[in-house]
Amino acid sequence: MDRFRKGRSTVDAINIVVNTAKDSITGTRWKGGTNKYSLVAPLDIRNAFNSANWDCIMRALEEKNIPNYLYRVVASYFTNRVLKYDTGKGPKEYRITVGSVLGPLLWNIIYDGLLKVPLPTEVKLVAYADDVAITVAKHLDEINLASDEVFERINQWMDTVNLQLAKHKTEAVLITRRRKTETIKLQVG
């Protein structure tokens, strides 16, 4: 995860995605060779920072075995801290806001769990702030299987921390050196 960490930038995250795509299409030949397709699917978490569940953050802190005094400081930070405002759909209530002092750190703590989700070979997750990109470098027939498995695992993790993908924002790109246009169907959730 690159944003909110010193010495990391958007460029670093983009380079990982670009290099994965480049490496996958530089093979020698298609059938029986090392040339592959690369799928890049950027995902967005619906209302990420404001939807981060405090109980899930506290559980993530416990799993990381942070010292008890820090745990109590964060618990105190959450006490009586709510942002309330009216919208066209009625009143809303949010907990962590993007501009809060601890917001980015607490987001990284909970989001780290996503980066630890077991992945099939040749599949990577690249995270930047509240966004994540899935990169899959495989032969075309294997991309659907791998991506379906990854989306299922990501959605399962999202359920455990009460987050949701903004499925309408997900667009995948299939990268290849072939002139023939290929299409695949992905099941995001």
11-50 pLDDT, tens digit each: 777 787 778 777 777 766 555 656 678 888 999 888 887 7
185 assigned to some structural domain: no
Two structure tokens written together for 183: 């299409």
Residues 114 and 39 grouped into a single domain? yes
DSSP letter, residue 165: B
**Helix residue ranges, H only, 39-90:** 48-51, 54-63, 68-78
Q: What is the reported pTM?
A: 0.77
Rounded Cα gap, residues 4 and 132, in angstroms = 14
Residues 41 and 117 grouped into a single domain? yes
> Are 36 and 25 contacting, i.e. CB atoms less than 8 angstroms apart?
yes
pLDDT digits (tens, 9 = 90+) for 39-87: 889 998 888 877 888 889 999 999 999 999 999 999 988 887 777 778 8
Among 95, 128, 152, give the residue marking a domain's end: 95
Residue 28 has a pLDDT of: 63
Of 96, 81, 80, 91, give the one whose Cα is nearest residue 45: 96
Two structure tokens written together for 2: 């690159």
pLDDT digits (tens, 9 = 90+) for 127-144: 888 888 998 888 778 888
Rounded Cα gap, residues 185 and 46, in angstroms = 22
Residues 81 and 155 grouped into a single domain? no
27 assigned to some structural domain: yes
Residue 38 belongs to domain spanning: 10-51+101-176
Of 107, 99, 127, 5, give the one whose Cα is nearest residue 56: 107
Residues 67 and 26 grouped into a single domain? no
Buried-exposed string 101-116: b where 16+ CB fall within 10 A, e elsewhere? eebbebbbbbbebbee
Residues 111 and 146 grouped into a single domain? yes
Rounded Cα gap, residues 41 and 26, in angstroms = 20
